């Protein structure tokens, strides 16, 4: 049984390396005027981006910055929506595979990410949701209890009181409210 498995892996490995000379890939490269080295470089950049996103999702709550907590919450919500709506198909992974001339499931990003975040696999599905939601909740907790968020809420309340006594057009009020929360988006 192990011989069959290693034979399949060997054939898959040989296929992955030979697919770069695939006519479909050359058509894709010609369509966008990309050389093979440019395609590989772009595919590598996509892989780096995926890796950074995964690391950020895992360590984001523990970075001591309200701006990073806001970004982490946004990334987490986006990831959860992506998992729910995209049936575990990532357009960046598909683009990376196309650039490398591989099948989507043969791409390095898919092979790297799928065992960890394969949402369509019921064994990992619940665990991935729990971990992501827990980490997002930690970020929300830290953000809500941060001094910067407290200052933003105080500013917002003051602006609401100011405009209650002295009504202004909606765009002016909205701008004043948004200015209260802008410090939350600036990295310290």
3-state helix, strand, coil in the chain (%, to 5): 85, 0, 15
Output the tens digit of pLDDT for each of the chain's 188 residues. 444 444 444 444 444 444 445 555 555 666 677 788 888 888 889 889 988 988 999 999 999 999 999 999 999 999 888 877 876 677 777 888 888 877 777 776 667 666 655 555 666 777 888 999 999 999 999 999 999 999 999 999 999 999 888 888 989 999 999 999 999 999 97
> CB–CB of 82/119 below 8 Å?
no
pTM (two decimals): 0.73
Q: Hunting for tokens 């500013």 — which residue is that? A: 155
Angle between helices 147-165 and 170-181 (to 10 degrees): 160
> CB–CB of 110/97 below 8 Å?
yes
């Amino acid at each position: 049984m192990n011989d069959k498995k290693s034979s399949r892996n060997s054939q898959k490995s040989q296929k992955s390396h030979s697919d770069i000379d695939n006519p479909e890939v050359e058509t894709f490269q010609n369509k966008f005027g990309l050389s093979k080295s440019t395609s590989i470089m772009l595919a590598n950049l996509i892989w780096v981006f995926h890796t950074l996103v995964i690391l950020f999702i895992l360590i984001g709550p523990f970075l001591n910055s309200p701006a990073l907590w806001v970004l982490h919450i946004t990334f987490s919500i986006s990831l959860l929506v992506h998992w729910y709506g995209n049936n575990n198909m990532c357009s960046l992974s598909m683009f990376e595979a196309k650039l490398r001339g591989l099948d989507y499931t043969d791409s390095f990003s898919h092979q790297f990410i799928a065992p960890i975040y394969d949402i369509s696999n019921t064994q990992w599905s619940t665990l991935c949701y729990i971990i992501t939601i827990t980490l997002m909740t930690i970020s929300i907790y830290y953000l809500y209890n941060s001094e910067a968020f407290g200052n933003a809420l105080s500013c917002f309340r003051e602006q609401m009181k100011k405009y209650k006594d002295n009504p202004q057009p909606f765009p002016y009020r909205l701008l004043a409210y948004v200015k209260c929360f802008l410090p939350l988006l600036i990295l310290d």
